[in-house]
Amino acid sequence: MPKTKIQCDEIRKKMRKKILDSALIYFARNGYSGTKISDLAHFIGIGQGTLYSYFSSKEELFKVILGNTVISNEENMLKLQNAPVSASKKIIILSTQMLEAIKKDTPVAYMFVLNMQ
């Protein structure tokens, strides 16, 4: 039985997320210039053609990842900014959150590394 439009859209959405999540890790480990699309596609477990059907270039993919990183960082910083604690306590909270993210090898840790590049 053929898939419905809703099912196809859901599959496409999941694949895009898989590409973005995996590419974040790969870019953080290898840097932008150290990333070749062929290697990235292999790391993700998809063909280059599939990757190009979601993103027209390595640059576009990188920009989307950076954009997502900025949005995520802004949301977290706004929450912390509005917290009713001193500036030094905010820095301690932020530092603790970052260290925990790094220890747990979460996407936040990769975003942090990516931002340093």
For residue 102, the enclosing domain spans 5-116
Give mean pLDDT, residues 84-95: 84
Kindly indicate the confidence band of residue 100, based on its pLDDT and cuts at 50, 70 and 90.
confident
Of 58, 54, 67, 17, which Cα lies nearest the Cα of 40?
58
Angle at 15 between CA 10 and CA 19, to 5 degrees: 150
State yes or no: pLDDT of 117 exceeds 90.
Answer: no
Cβ(44)–Cβ(23) below 8 Å: yes
Sign of CA dihedral 83, 86, 92, 94: positive
Q: Give the residue carrying structure tokens 């640059």.
A: 59
State yes or no: pLDDT of 48 exceeds 90.
Answer: yes
State yes or no: pLDDT of 63 exceeds 70.
Answer: yes
Total of domains in the chain:
1
Kindly list the distances between the CA atom of residue 44 and the CA atoms of 6, 22, 24, in Å, as whole numbers in the listed order.
Answer: 24, 6, 11
65: domain CATH number is: 1.10.357.10
More confident residue, 76 or 92: 92
Judge if pTM exceeds 0.75. Answer: no
State yes or no: pLDDT of 54 exceeds 70.
Answer: yes
State yes or no: pLDDT of 43 exceeds 90.
Answer: yes
DSSP for 7-25? Answer: HHHHHHHHHHHHHHHHHHH
Give mean pLDDT, residues 31-47: 94
